[in-house]
Structure 1
Amino acid sequence: MKLVLLLCLCAVGALAQDDYDDYGEGKKEAKEVVDPRGHRPVSRGRETYSPGPVSQPPISGGTRYRGRPTAAPVGKAVQEKEEQPESGGCNHMSEKMGVLCPTGCELKKALIKQERNVKPTVEQLKRAVDDLTQSTNSIHGYVLDMTAEVAQRQKVSEGNGLVVDQYTDSLETQHAYIKDTVDVTFPQNIKVLQGVLDKIREKIQRLEKAITTQRAKCQAPCKVTCPIPVVSGKECEDIIRKGGEDSQMYIIRPDPLGTPYKVFCDQTSKNGGWVLIQNRMDGSVDFGRRWDDYRRGFGNIAFDVGKGHCQTPGEYWLGNDRISQLSKMGATELLVEMEDWSGSKVYAQYEQFSMQGEASNYILGVGRYSGTAGNTFLEGATELFGENRTMTIHNGMMFSTYDRDNDKWIPGDPSKQCSKEDGGGWWYNRCHSCNPNGRYYWGGAYTKYMAKHGTDDGIVWMNWKGSWYSLKTISMKIRPYFKQK
């Protein structure tokens, strides 16, 4: 604003210099020259002449005296310019422009006239100032935008720097891994593969040698060491009715849509027709097996002792699925035969035998006992009494193995498992009165110090020989039941 005011005053001064003689409306007569002082001097002393430029009052005719001052004419009093402090608005801003009229009215007219020329200039200056203000605001906004953009780009730059650092770290890690792999892992793997290759070469050499040996043997006609009889049937009772009267290995097919399999048929004991489902005779097969092994079956069905036929049964368990299938074909009976180490033999026969499927964990069902060995399945150990005796009954029990605990001895406690302590899979209660699938002890008698867990884990039939005698042989056989007339 100070700049605008200064410009306005300068413009007024300039216009006053150009139109000093022409202010007012129309041309007027020359006025009487009046001393611009307007009052008497304060000092009574004589005024002296002072050289230098002075302002002369206007003369008639409207002209202005512009000559240089000369010496005062002879005979006239010399009059100096005296500064009038009370001259008010009758002086120009610049002394070089002379003196205005002594009244404020003429000054008003001069100012009004001068306003016509100053006002457009002021308006123009105002517009310029507005434009400058708008430009300043625009520049300010641009500067703010640029500042924000710079900040954003700085963030992006910092983010890019971080990404570059992370990428560099990842690259260095990968480089270290690759270098370690190339320098250490690859050589080690190559050595391992070289060792594997050497072993494969050895196996190939052994196979080539075995093939050469087999070729030499096959030059002569092959001879089957254990030929299978031609006759077969649904089970051993069906085979004996078809003429298969010798006790040996046969092929049976209980289900016409199922796969046939090999069994040993006892065709001599109690009129024959028995399928051997379990046999212990020399301890050649380990019966401490898992659930799946007992489900499928394991062991050796039969072998030849020099007669040309497999007439001697081996140690085996037929398989729970097959035993369950045979018992469901109709009424079935069970025969258990056993022998001690002195040659004495006894048996236990049950006219009723059943075995449910895997969904019910192969629950055992027996009934109608007869025999000389003692009824352990239904009565338990007769040498015990009360609860101690009932917890040895096997009828109605589920099948258990060391990896599938279904006994009645604190279910769910891994330290209380009959199968794990007593050596094999069986229909354990808490725990047994008979243990045909237990550990095989030569000679019969054994002690808890010989047992793995200090329990009676031998091939036990308590109602005949007690808990600490392991039998020499025991076998379990089933056949269709026919009521005797």
Structure 2
Amino acid sequence: MAPFLPADIMLVFHRKRIIPPKETVDARGHRPVNRGRETYSAGQAAPPPISGGGRYGGRPTSAPVGKATQEKKEYPESGCELKKSLLKQERNVKPTVDQLKRSVDELTQSTNSIYGYVLDMTAEVAQRQRVSEGNGLLVGQYTDSLEDQHSFIKDAVDVTFPQNIKILQGVLDKIREKIQRLEKAITTQRAKCQVPCKVSCPIPVVSGKECEDIIRKGGDDSQMYLIRPDALSTPYKVFCDQTSQNGGWVVIQNRMDGSVDFGRRWDDYRRGFGNIAFDVGKGHCQTPGEYWLGNERISQLTKMGPTELLVEMEDWSSSKVYAQYEQFTVQGEANNYILAVGRYSGTAGNTFLDGATELFGENRTMTIHNGMMFSTYDRDNDKWTPGDPSKQCSREDGGGWWYNRCHACNPNGRYYWGGAYTKYMAKHGTDDGIVWMNWKGSWYSLKTISMKIRPYFKQR
């Protein structure tokens, strides 16, 4: 709105200004005769407005008797007086207008701030709405997934688990039946084993100092015979292999079905144990059993002259290999049956002299068997911390043998069906099977192995 200027007001007032009369009549000195009101004839001009103390046509107006009333108003004498009056009023109004303008500015700023805040709130509400909708969708997805899982678990608990439990119960019942049959068989076997096993099949008439002597006398069949290495000793039974490499072999050790426990004491290995042979229905003991001839007898046979050793073995796939030593001797009990071998040939690998070829350095040296004393779990003669009962090769590896620290071969170890076994199957977590490491490694137990000796004759 444009400011109100006093000059403009003066111009307007000048155009409409009322010019005061030249004479002033004292109304108090010219009172009318009667108190009635004057009348005007038609066509007569109306009198000018009456202002207290004024006049009409030069004649005073009437006033009530006894009371004189007069309303006096002051008018500016000129436009300058009006200008001063307006400027004076402007001075009073302008601060108010300025204050009002400042208030309007402050209100405008506040309004803008509130408007921006409202916009921000609107955007945040929209963002929260989108987040809420996304969360709602995600919750819905999780809820669907949870319902699917709940349905799967409920089905498994209500249907699958009972079926599996029923199947396992059937398997358990079958296992119990097998255990009962095994317990019955073990009980029967124990009853039979209370009496020492006796060979009922006939013994051939032919006999000799050892199997080489018997084959020279005509004993060509591989079966059980009586031998007498020394004329002063008592004859004893052995199985003669008269087939392998022209025959003449005394079988001093044989493993074939795990029917004999080789985890024996020192005295058992000294005397010998097991079944020399048995009859398969032909009237002759032509099948060797599982046995150890005895360290005393083995030592006696090797002292008769140069002796060679043949070790034959077979895995569970019917593959066969052999190891042959042209020199083989076993000292007496006074020297703990120290082993000596020499001049290897064969296909199985030279474990006696070289140790385990899969090892290196000291680890390999400690598996060499040549020169070792014989050890059993009750007489520790190995090289693994002598005198420490917690570190005995024979106790951990399942049988008596010429242990070092501990072995590269273990023909008298535990019998495992199927060949491969693990440390979790072993009694002490060690490779305690019928092992020949240079052929099948530590964790394969052979199906059969046999050790045979005969007099050594240098080939011409």
Aligned to 2:360: 385
2:307 to 332, 341, 344: 332
Q: Root-mean-square deviation (CA), in Å?
A: 0.6
Tell me whether 1:469 sits opposite 2:453 in the alignment. Answer: no
Within a 5 Å distance, the mapping from 1:197-212 to structure 2 comes to none
Aligned to 1:30: none
Within a 5 Å distance, the mapping from 1:340-379 to structure 2 comes to 340-379=315-354
Aligned to 2:426: 451
Aligned to 1:24: none
Give the counterpart letter for 2:304 in structure 1: M
Aligned to 2:409: 434
Aligned to 1:318: 293
Give the counterpart letter for 2:320 in structure 1: K
Q: CA deviation at 1:225?
A: 4.0
Aligned to 2:159: none
Q: What is the SS of the residue equivalent to 1:377?
A: helix
Tell me whether 1:230 sits opposite 2:209 in the alignment. Answer: no
Aligned to 1:240: 215
Aligned to 1:200: none
Q: What is the SS of the residue equivalent to 2:269?
A: helix
Q: What is the SS of the residue equivalent to 2:395?
A: helix
Q: Is the 8 A contact 1:248 1:313 kept in 2?
A: yes
After superposition, what is the alpha-carbon deviation per residue over 1:411-439, rounded to whole angstroms, capped at 9, x for unaligned? 00000000000000000000000000000
| Distance across 2 between alignment mates of 1:307 and 1:269 | 21
After superposition, what is the alpha-carbon deviation per residue over 1:288-343, rounded to whole angstroms, capped at 9, x for unaligned? 00000000000000000011100000000000000000000000000000000000
Aligned to 1:425: 400
Aligned to 2:70: none
Tell me whether 1:289 sits opposite 2:251 in the alignment. Answer: no
Aligned to 2:382: 407
After superposition, what is the alpha-carbon deviation per residue over 1:135-190, rounded to whole angstroms, capped at 9, x for unaligned? xxxxxxxxxxxxxxxxxxxxxxxxxxxxxxxxxxxxxxxxxxxxxxxxxxxxxxxx
Within a 5 Å distance, the mapping from 1:8-407 to structure 2 comes to 225-407=200-382
Aligned to 2:150: none
Q: Is the 8 A contact 1:440 1:470 kept in 2?
A: yes
| Distance across 1 between alignment mates of 2:275 and 2:298 | 16
Q: CA deviation at 1:368?
A: 0.2
Aligned to 2:34: none
Give the counterpart letter for 1:227 in structure 2: P
| Distance across 1 between alignment mates of 2:219 and 2:271 | 26
Give the counterpart letter for 2:347 in structure 1: T
Q: Is the 8 A contact 1:374 1:464 kept in 2?
A: yes
Q: What is the SS of the residue equivalent to 2:340?
A: strand
After superposition, what is the alpha-carbon deviation per residue over 1:175-223, rounded to whole angstroms, capped at 9, x for unaligned? xxxxxxxxxxxxxxxxxxxxxxxxxxxxxxxxxxxxxxxxxxxxxxxxx
Q: Is the 8 A contact 1:225 1:308 kept in 2?
A: no
User: What TM-score, normalized to structure 2?
Assistant: 0.57
Aligned to 2:82: none
Q: What is the SS of the residue equivalent to 1:476?
A: strand
Q: Is the 8 A contact 1:231 1:244 kept in 2?
A: yes
Q: What is the SS of the residue equivalent to 1:381?
A: coil
Q: Is the 8 A contact 1:225 1:309 kept in 2?
A: no
Q: What is the SS of the residue equivalent to 2:394?
A: helix
| Distance across 1 between alignment mates of 2:241 and 2:411 | 19
Q: What is the SS of the residue equivalent to 2:449?
A: strand
Q: CA deviation at 1:478?
A: 0.2
User: What TM-score, normalized to structure 1?
Assistant: 0.54
| Distance across 2 between alignment mates of 1:245 and 1:225 | 21
Identity of aligned residues (%): 92
Give the counterpart letter for 1:437 in structure 2: N
| Distance across 1 between alignment mates of 2:384 and 2:422 | 23
| Distance across 1 between alignment mates of 2:312 and 2:356 | 18
After superposition, what is the alpha-carbon deviation per residue over 1:65-107, rounded to whole angstroms, capped at 9, x for unaligned? xxxxxxxxxxxxxxxxxxxxxxxxxxxxxxxxxxxxxxxxxxx
Give the counterpart letter for 2:308 in structure 1: E
| Distance across 1 between alignment mates of 2:233 and 2:241 | 23
Q: Is the 8 A contact 1:234 1:255 kept in 2?
A: yes
Q: Is the 8 A contact 1:379 1:393 kept in 2?
A: yes
| Distance across 2 between alignment mates of 1:225 and 1:436 | 28
| Distance across 2 between alignment mates of 1:277 and 1:330 | 17
| Distance across 2 between alignment mates of 1:252 and 1:265 | 10
Q: Is the 8 A contact 1:397 1:429 kept in 2?
A: yes
| Distance across 2 between alignment mates of 1:366 and 1:351 | 8
Tell me whether 1:479 sits opposite 2:460 in the alignment. Answer: no
Q: Is the 8 A contact 1:364 1:427 kept in 2?
A: yes
Structure 1 segments of 4 or more deviating over 6 A? none
Q: CA deviation at 1:259?
A: 0.4
Give the counterpart letter for 2:417 in structure 1: W
| Distance across 2 between alignment mates of 1:258 and 1:399 | 24
Q: CA deviation at 1:445?
A: 0.1
After superposition, what is the alpha-carbon deviation per residue over 1:234-277, rounded to whole angstroms, capped at 9, x for unaligned? 00000000000000000000010110000000000000000000
Q: CA deviation at 1:471?
A: 0.1
